[in-house]
Amino acid sequence: MILVVRDDREFLCEPGAEVHTDLGVIDVPEDVEPGDSVETHLGEEFRVRGLRGPDLFDHMERTGAPMMPKDIGLVMGHTGISCGDRVLDAGTGTGVLSAYMGRAGANVTTFERKEEFAEVARENMELAEVADTVDVRTGDLTEELDSLGTFDVVTLDTPNADELLSDLSDHLVSGGFVAVYSPFVENARDCELAARDAGFEEVSSRETIQRYMDFDDRGSRPSTAGVGHTGYLLFARKP
């Protein structure tokens, strides 16, 4: 899949597709490559762009509110997820986090309770070109945990994350990380207490806030449009 882009217009398509825009119809060549230019039948030019992580976030089919790129960046940065890692993910949802981890080279097993959500996530993994390394499963993680072996990283985005933490230590390698995303501060508190009770080290929780900057002739300041809160992240490490 590729993107054809002009200004604020952006269309996801396959090479060889016919793309209808308000500036005319594009017959995308079969051999098109990122960096090429294509024209509509009215002579209007579009650029061709390859898909990267932020593009996937914008174009994946959604089954709910996905984890934001700023949160995903912290998960990747604080756990060091990289090529060859085994990652267990609970709470697939749209699958944005799993896609990012898969594109970094990790082998991901992710669980989603709802079959209809899991099916959408599988389609999204195809779009992200990580279907071979991200295994989307339907079911309850707690029922299969004992058969899964050990992982380098476990990521949780589930309402019962605090309950799962007590069982995860046996399924992490020494020095492995767990990362938990919580939408509410009550969940974040419960997860930190549970992680400490379970014997994890380097336990820390943080709120993730992002503010855009406004620059104009009067000066520069953070945008007053909103503080950009999305949730809370916990990180902990097995001894």
Measured from the Cβ of residue 47, the count of other Cβ atoms closer than 10 Å reads: 13
Distance CA 81, CA 101 (A): 7
Provide the residue range defining the domain that includes 44. 2-50
Residue 211 pLDDT more than 90? no
| pLDDT for position 73 | 94
Query: Does one domain contain both 133 and 219?
Result: yes
CA angle 66, 67, 70 (to 5 degrees): 140
Query: Does one domain contain both 177 and 212?
Result: yes
| pLDDT for position 171 | 94
Query: Does one domain contain both 45 and 65?
Result: no
Number of domains present in the structure of the chain:
2
Work out the mean pLDDT of the chain and round it to a whole number: 93
| Residue 27 belongs to domain with CATH number | 3.10.330.20
| Residue 107 belongs to domain with CATH number | 3.40.50.150
Query: Does one domain contain both 151 and 172?
Result: yes
Query: Does one domain contain both 64 and 148?
Result: yes
pTM to 2 decimals? 0.87
Strands in 91-171 per DSSP E: 107-112, 134-138, 151-156
pLDDT in tens, 139-158: 888 888 889 999 999 999 99
pLDDT in tens, 47-64: 999 988 888 888 899 988
